[in-house]
C-alpha cells in the first residue's frame, strides 16, 4: 500500500518547539481534533479535516467548516482516537500526532499510552515540545546521536527487553515500574531494542 | 508521629496555576530539587534546603547556598527521589510536590509513576497546573465536587478496582491499559475507590 501521511493536531498545548511546528506548517494534510481548530485558526494554518464530538466548537465555526467536519459522538473513545480512526478509514497510514501533551495531565498520559493500539494498524509517532514518542510492536533499530536521552516505557510489565548501544543496557530484563526505563542515553548514531511482548513506547529527546 | 509538612519544588515547569503557586509561596519549608533553585530565585521565594547532584548549579549559587545544600551523587535515583528521601531522613512526612510536570515528557511520566513508592513511607501528593495526583495504597474516600474530572491510573494491571459515586463505575475490574481509567467524573461531593493490589494513582482536576 502506498504511504499517505497526515498530521493530527490534538487538543492539548499548541506546539511551540520548531520541530513539531514546522511539521504542522508543512503538512499536506492536517486532521484537527475538535476544539484544536481554534488554535489552528489563531496560528493561521488551514485544516483539511475536523474530527470529534464537536462539543467545543461554536456555531460560527461549525458553519464555517461544515464541509470538512466529521462528527463522531461515540463516548467510548477520546478525540485523538476518533481522529486516528478517521485517518485509517480514509487511507492515511503514516501519522504524526502533535499537540497531544501539555494541559490536562491525565489526557496526556492517556494519549501517550494509546499509541501502541494505533501502531498495530499504521505508522505513527507523537511529537511534543521536547521529544518523540514512538510505539513499537517489534524489535528494531532507532536512529540517534551520541548522548541522546532515551526512555523506554513498557506498558506490560511481563515484556522482556534487550538493548544495544545504550548507556544502561538491558539484557532480557523486565521493567516492572514505568519509571524504571527512563533516563537512558544513546552511545552512538543508532541503538537497538529487542523485546518479547506486546509493545513498548520509546521516547527520544530532540537534538539540541 | 507529629505531622511535619514540606513542599518539594521539582525541576520541571515552574507552577503558573494559583493553587500550586500559593502552596509554594505559603510553605514553611521548601525543599528545592537541584537546578530548580534558579526558578525559585527568579520568583523571589526562599529555599530551605537544596537537594540533588548539583550538576546544574553555577559555582556562584553553590557558594551562596552552601549552608542549605545537600549533595547526593547517587545515579540510581532521580533528583525528585533524592529530595523525598532527604525529607524522610529529616522527619518531614507530609509532602506536596510541585513543578514536577511540563518540560521533559519522560521525566514527567517517571515522576508521576514514582509516587506510589513514596506513599508507603509518608503522606504525599503532586500538584500540577491542572490538577492533583494522589497515590494510594489502600481503599479510601476522596473529597470532590459534582462534575470533577477524575482519572484512575493502575500501575499494576492485576489490581482489581471498585468505585462508588463516579459516572463510569468499576466493579472488581482490572485496568489493563493505562488509558482505560481516564476521563471519569465525580457525581457528588465525594467518591470512593476500593481496590485489591499494590497501589493506584488518582488524578483530580482543580475546581474551575
Check if the beta carbon of residue A17 is closer than 8 Å to that of residue A206: yes
Among the partner-chain residues B106, B177, B182, the one whose CB lies closest to the CB of A203 is B106
How far apart are alpha carbons B183 and B179 in whole angstroms?
9
pLDDT tops 80 at residue B87: yes
Q: What is the pLDDT of residue A53?
A: 85
CATH 3.90.400.10 given to domain A5-129: no
Cell numbers describing residue A63 = 458553519
Instruction: State the Cα–Cα distance between residues A175 and B120, nearest whole angstrom.
Output: 20
CATH superfamily of B5-130: Thiamin pyrophosphokinase, catalytic domain (3.40.50.10240)
Best CA proximity match to A39, nearest among A98, A83, A87: A98
Per-residue confidence (pLDDT) for residue B56, from 0 to 100: 80
B159 pLDDT above the threshold of 80: yes
pLDDT score, position A24: 97
ipTM of the complex: 0.93
Residues of chain B whose C-beta is under 8 A from some C-beta in A?
78, 101-107, 109-114, 117, 128, 130-131, 133, 149, 151, 153, 155-157, 177-179, 182-183, 203, 205
C-beta of residue A36 within 8 angstroms of C-beta of residue A53: no
Phi, psi of A112 (to 5 degrees): -65, -45
Shortest Cα distance from A156 to chain B (angstroms)?
8
Domain boundaries, chain B: 5-130, 137-205
Q: Which tens digit of pLDDT belongs to each residue from A59-103?
A: 899 999 999 999 988 777 888 999 999 999 999 999 999 999 999
Mean pLDDT of B64-82: 89
Q: Alpha carbon of B142 to those of A180, B134, B152, B166: distances in Å?
A: 29, 10, 12, 11
Q: What's B37's DSSP letter? A: H
Mean pLDDT on B184-190: 97
In this complex, which of A105, A113, A130 lies closest to B103 when CB atoms are compared? A130
User: What would the CATH number be for the domain defined by A137-205?
Assistant: 2.60.120.320
Task: Select from A172, A204, A1, A153 the least CA-distant residue to A92.
Answer: A1
Average pLDDT over residues B96-108: 95
Contacts of B117 in chain A (CB under 8 A): 177
Query: DSSP class of residue A193?
Result: E
> A138, exposed or middle or buried, with CB in 10 Å at 0-12, 13-18, 19+?
exposed
Q: Locate cell 536521552: which residue?
A: A149
Q: Which among B110, B117, B131 has CB closest to A182?
A: B110
Size of interface A-B (CB pairs under 8 A): 95
Q: How much of chain A exceeds pLDDT 70, in percent?
A: 100
Is the Cβ–Cβ distance between B72 and B82 less than 8 Å? Answer: yes
Please answer whether residues A165 and A187 qualify as being in contact, where contact means their C-beta atoms are separated by less than 8 angstroms: yes
In chain A, which residues touch B (CB < 8 A)?
78, 101-107, 109-114, 117, 128, 130-131, 133, 149, 151, 153, 155-157, 177-179, 182-183, 203, 205
Distance in angstroms between the alpha carbons of the first and the last residue of chain B? 35
Task: Answer whether residue B1 shows pLDDT above 80.
Answer: no
For the cut 70, the answer to whether the pLDDT of residue A1 exceeds it is no
Amino acid at each position: 500500500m502506498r504511504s499517505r501521511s497526515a498530521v493530527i493536531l490534538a487538543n492539548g498545548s499548541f506546539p511551540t518547539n520548531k520541530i513539531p511546528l514546522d511539521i504542522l506548517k508543512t503538512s499536506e494534510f492536517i486532521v484537527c481534533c475538535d476544539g484544536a481548530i481554534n488554535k489552528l485558526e489563531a496560528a493561521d494554518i488551514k485544516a483539511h479535516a475536523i474530527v470529534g464530538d464537536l462539543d467545543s466548537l461554536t456555531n460560527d465555526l461549525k458553519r464555517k467548516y461544515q464541509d470538512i467536519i466529521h462528527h463522531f459522538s461515540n463516548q467510548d473513545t477520546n478525540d485523538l482516537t476518533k481522529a486516528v480512526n478517521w485517518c485509517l478509514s480514509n487511507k492515511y497510514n503514516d501519522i504524526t500526532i502533535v499537540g497531544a501533551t501539555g494541559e490536562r495531565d491525565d489526557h496526556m498520559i492517556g494519549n501517550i499510552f494509546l499509541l501502541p493500539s494505533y501502531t498495530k494498524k499504521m505508522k505513527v509517532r507523537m511529537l511534543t515540545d521536547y521529544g518523540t514518542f514512538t510505539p513499537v510492536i517489534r524489535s528494531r533499530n532507532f536512529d540517534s546521536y551520541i548522548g541522546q536521552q532515551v526512555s523506554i516505557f513498557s506498558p506490560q510489565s511481563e515484556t522482556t527487553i534487550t538493548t544495544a548501544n545504550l548507556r544502561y543496557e538491558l539484557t532480557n530484563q523486565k521493567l516492572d515500574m514505568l519509571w524504571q526505563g527512563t533516563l537512558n542515553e544513546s552511545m552512538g548514531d543508532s541503538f537497538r531494542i529487542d523485546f518479547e511482548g506486546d509493545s513498548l513506547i520509546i521516547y527520544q529527546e530532540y537534538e539540541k
